[in-house]
Amino acid sequence: MRFQASKAEQNLVRMALQIVTETTSQYSDLMPLRLCRPVPFFGPIECAKVITFGLNPSTTEFTKKRNWSRVTDAELPDELVNYWTNEDRTPHEWFQPWQTVLSELGVSYISDAAHIDLSPRATNCCKGELKAQFIEMLRTDAGIWIEGLRIARECRLILAAGSATNDPKRGYINQFISEMLSAGAGVRLRDHWSRKQSGAGQTAHNMICLHEGREIPFFFCSTDPTVRKGTVLIEACRANIAALKKHLDDQPGAPNVPPGIVDHR
């Protein structure tokens, strides 16, 4: 069965394409030689109960054999909402650990989950002298994922993992949202995360607050799906599975009291 992108999802793709087109020259040093499409989401976000959240698409998503070059801008919204069932390409292997976590929560990318990134642009490494440019790009693109969360009216839980800036002190995705976005960005992360000195798989339960007054539970793991084939991320989520399942029983946007932090190492 093939789905049609909603009006809101179509508009989000147009927004992403416009922002990327208008700012391409500013961030050209970050762009890979391989032609990559801006991808603001994977799967039908408007009806997703759970959204996984990462940094940006992998350049290997856009290898020649994956047939992205044939997709026009007009076709892109439908291509994205049908990402998980597309006959032309299988989902990228990066998503496999998240698929395991979603299965244990009783949801699936195929039916009621989707993915969003801090930026829709696939890029080269963001270390060294390009780091400041990469951070500025993330700020430029923030409106895209914030709008994505705004239209995800059924979302009851966000699962985020990993680093945004490769900064060992303040580079995690949750820290980027809390500390590196302007007050007028349209979103804030509530509740403090006390990072330990060391250890993989550190976790935090937060709330992401949109300016319209809506709050969504935001679970964060410090280790992303690429580390140890995703085993650290999976075990960190399992250690918090009861709390995560409870969020799925709540109504979207309902007031929530985040459970205590559980660290898994």
115-165 pLDDT tens trace? 999 999 999 876 677 888 999 999 999 999 999 999 999 999 999 999 998
Does 263 have pLDDT greater than 60? no
Does 197 have pLDDT greater than 70? no
CA 54 to CA 94: how far, in whole Å?
Answer: 10
Please compute the mean of the pLDDT values over residues 97-106 and round it to a whole number. Answer: 98
Beta bridge mates, 42? 115
Predicted pLDDT of residue 196: 66
Predicted pLDDT of residue 1: 67
Confidence band (pLDDT; 50, 70, 90) for 228? very high
Does 262 have pLDDT greater than 80? no
Predicted pLDDT of residue 182: 84
Phi first, then psi, for residue 208 (nearest 5°) are -100, 125
CA 11 to CA 73: how far, in whole Å?
Answer: 12
Please compute the mean of the pLDDT values over residues 58-81 and round it to a whole number. Answer: 95
> What 3-state DSSP class applies to 51?
strand
51-62 pLDDT tens trace? 999 999 999 999
Least Cα distance to 167 among 159, 156, 175 occurs for 175
Predicted pLDDT of residue 252: 64
Does 66 have pLDDT greater than 80? yes
Phi first, then psi, for residue 225 (nearest 5°) are -65, -10
Predicted pLDDT of residue 3: 83
How many CB atoms are located within 10 Å of the residue 248 CB?
15
Of the chain, the percentage scoring pLDDT greater than 70 comes to: 90
CA 151 to CA 8: how far, in whole Å?
Answer: 7
CA 43 to CA 9: how far, in whole Å?
Answer: 10
Those residues with Cβ within 8 angstroms of residue 92's Cβ, 6 or more apart along the chain or in another chain:
58, 60, 61
Predicted pLDDT of residue 169: 65
